[in-house]
Amino acid sequence: MDEFEHVEFLPEPEDARILSAIDPAAVGFQGAWRADVTGWAPLEAVPIQRRRHQRAFVTNSLIFAVLMVTLFVVWNSGLLWVELSLPDSQWANEQAQLDTAADEGLTGLGVRVCMVDTGIDLTHDALKGVEVTFRDLRGSSPTPLDYGLVAHGTLMAGILVAQDHQIGAAPNITLGVAAALGTDENGENSGDESTVAEAIRWCQDTFEADIISLSLGGEQNLDATREGATASATRRAVDAGVFVVAAAGNDGGSDDDGLVSVPANIPRVITVGASTETGAVWANSSSGSQVYDRGQQRQHPHLKPEVIAPGVDIISTGSENAWYSSSGTSDATVFVTAALALLLEAHPEYKPSAQSDGTCIDAIKVALMNSVQPLDKQDLHDNRSGYGQLMAMDWIQEVEQTDPVC
């Protein structure tokens, strides 16, 4: 029909037989317009329980009756109890040299980090006292809250700023949180792309972030004729010198489409894959393609992903004041965000300013490329492990030694 000549038809992700009529002039109409938490582990995180007063039962036919009576009295008095320590993932901070940076006195002080996620729950004991500038884009709450499944945003924030047990990797940053994602009807964390894009713009324009951390993403659509809203907002940020760190995605293995998520595909974004405690690439970490924008080749230091960081069995703050274990490129993204915050604390001259045009990001990414621990000894870059494993202190020292001009 003539009235439909100007529209395009987009298959619905839940059922490709259902087509939505889309005006191609609308920003963000293509397949990546639904933003999901693609950096989230495929398995739901498991709470780690603290156990107290665990009874010990001792059997020995030769034990003296008096000792048995004494133990019985002591037990009933409540003086005999055992508390099992909560596990932690301190290995991740050690592997990424974040503990070494902390020993040097770096805490992220003076660096503004903005997280776009499901929000944050500040009632957790380890987050009490953390000051947050909060923007609710899913509702109208004036106070921080978390809309996510097992509080995804709270988990990510804990990696960065937790004040107890598993201490955050950059605990003294100035934190902004934009709640743009939430639990959908399928029990998954997701959100509308236009909302995520608005959150990114809020981080840049209102919160005035030095770093925007995105543990989320959407699928790339190679057939799209124009850039989606989230990608456009991200490009605007990095071209103004605001650092953006984004999750590569969790579709590694047999289901890997060979593409990192959107907006991790934007050249100046630092795109993060996940590694295990042994330093290997996590099996579900997404591969990247070095071809973009209708056949153009990516150039160093912007090959995707750029870096891998700890992202498996990471202990962090979750819902209902519990500690959770989670895995995914979401977690890895926050470790790179933390390392970058420590770097900008040590070298504030690379923070964005009114005159920034993105060249400082390029310089810092060259330093990242030259400071990581490569997994592939043959080539400078690998489609899964990037340039290599994050080494936070080496990254900072690389900047100190080379003193890049931008």
Q: Tell me, yes or no, whether 12 lies in a domain.
A: no
The share of the chain scoring above pLDDT 90, in percent, equals 68
Q: Based on the fold, state whether residues 71 and 181 are members of the same structural domain.
A: no
Q: Based on the fold, state whether residues 137 and 225 are members of the same structural domain.
A: yes
Where is average pLDDT lowest: 95-109, 125-139, 162-176, 288-302? 288-302
Q: How many whole angstroms from its chain centre is CA 227?
A: 23
CATH number of residue 285's parent domain: 3.40.50.200
Number of domains in the chain: 2
Residue 73: what pLDDT?
Answer: 47
For residues 188 and 182, what is the distance between their CA atoms, to the nearest angstrom?
Answer: 8
Residue 224: what pLDDT?
Answer: 74
Region of residue 200 (phi > 0: left; psi between -120 and 50: alpha; otherwise: beta): alpha
Select from 11, 34, 9 the least CA-distant residue to 230: 34
Q: Based on the fold, state whether residues 131 and 233 are members of the same structural domain.
A: yes
* The pLDDT of residue 166 is above 50: yes
* The pLDDT of residue 25 is above 70: no
Specify the DSSP element, H or E, that contains 358.
Answer: none
Q: Based on the fold, state whether residues 135 and 65 are members of the same structural domain.
A: no
For residues 310 and 95, what is the distance between their CA atoms, to the nearest angstrom?
Answer: 8
Give the mean pLDDT of 295-316: 95
* The pLDDT of residue 14 is above 90: no
Measured in degrees and rounded to the nearest 5, phi and psi for residue 72 equal -65, -40
Residue 137: what pLDDT?
Answer: 97
* The pLDDT of residue 306 is above 80: yes
Q: Tell me, yes or no, whether 186 lies in a domain.
A: yes
* The pLDDT of residue 354 is above 80: yes
Contact 318, 151 (CB under 8 A): yes
Q: Based on the fold, state whether residues 105 and 62 are members of the same structural domain.
A: no
Please, which pLDDT band fits residue 359 given cuts at 50, 70 and 90?
Answer: very high
Domain of residue 285: give its range: 32-47+87-402
- Whole-model pTM: value is 0.83
For residues 253 and 275, what is the distance between their CA atoms, to the nearest angstrom?
Answer: 14
Q: Based on the fold, state whether residues 70 and 92 are members of the same structural domain.
A: no
List, as one string, the DSSP characters of 130-171. --EEEEESSS--SS--B-SGGGHHHHHHHHHH--SSS--SST
For residues 118 and 342, what is the distance between their CA atoms, to the nearest angstrom?
Answer: 24
Q: Based on the fold, state whether residues 60 and 114 are members of the same structural domain.
A: no
Q: Based on the fold, state whether residues 220 and 368 are members of the same structural domain.
A: yes
List, as one string, the DSSP characters of 1-53. -GGGTT-EEEE-SS-TTSEEEE-TTSTT-SGGGEEE-TTS-SS--EEE-----
Give the mean pLDDT of 21-36: 43
Residue 327: what pLDDT?
Answer: 94
Contact 274, 284 (CB under 8 A): yes
| Mean per-residue pLDDT of the chain | 84
Residue 282: what pLDDT?
Answer: 96
pLDDT tens digits, one per residue of 185-233: 777 777 889 999 999 999 999 999 999 999 999 888 777 778 899 999 9
Please, which pLDDT band fits residue 38 given cuts at 50, 70 and 90?
Answer: low
Residue 311: what pLDDT?
Answer: 96
Select from 148, 172, 149, 177 the least CA-distant residue to 160: 172
Packed helices 193-205 and 229-239: angle between N→C axes, nearest 10 degrees:
20
When comparing pLDDT for 42 and 225, which is higher? 225
- In angstroms, the Cα distances linking 77 to 59, 80, 206, 267 are 21, 8, 58, 65
Q: Tell me, yes or no, whether 359 lies in a domain.
A: yes
Q: Tell me, yes or no, whether 82 lies in a domain.
A: no
Where is average pLDDT lowest: 166-175, 231-240, 299-308, 369-378? 369-378
Please, which pLDDT band fits residue 49 given cuts at 50, 70 and 90?
Answer: low
Q: Which two tokens stand for residue 308?
A: 């891998």
In the chain, the amino acid numbered 13 is P
Give the mean pLDDT of 235-261: 94
* The pLDDT of residue 319 is above 80: yes
Contact 238, 176 (CB under 8 A): no
For residues 197 and 189, what is the distance between their CA atoms, to the nearest angstrom?
Answer: 16
Q: Based on the fold, state whether residues 218 and 181 are members of the same structural domain.
A: yes
For residues 364 and 370, what is the distance between their CA atoms, to the nearest angstrom?
Answer: 10
Q: Based on the fold, state whether residues 228 and 119 are members of the same structural domain.
A: yes
pLDDT tens digits, one per residue of 264-274: 999 999 999 99
Q: Based on the fold, state whether residues 71 and 139 are members of the same structural domain.
A: no
* The pLDDT of residue 151 is above 60: yes
| Alpha helical stretches, state H, 55-113 | 65-77, 90-95, 98-103
Q: Tell me, yes or no, whether 23 lies in a domain.
A: no
Q: Based on the fold, state whether residues 235 and 171 are members of the same structural domain.
A: yes
CB neighbourhood size of 299 (10 A): 9
Give the mean pLDDT of 46-66: 43
Residue 36: what pLDDT?
Answer: 56
Give the mean pLDDT of 13-37: 44
In the chain, the amino acid numbered 179 is A
Residue 170: what pLDDT?
Answer: 98
Q: Tell me, yes or no, whether 247 lies in a domain.
A: yes
Residue 383: what pLDDT?
Answer: 95
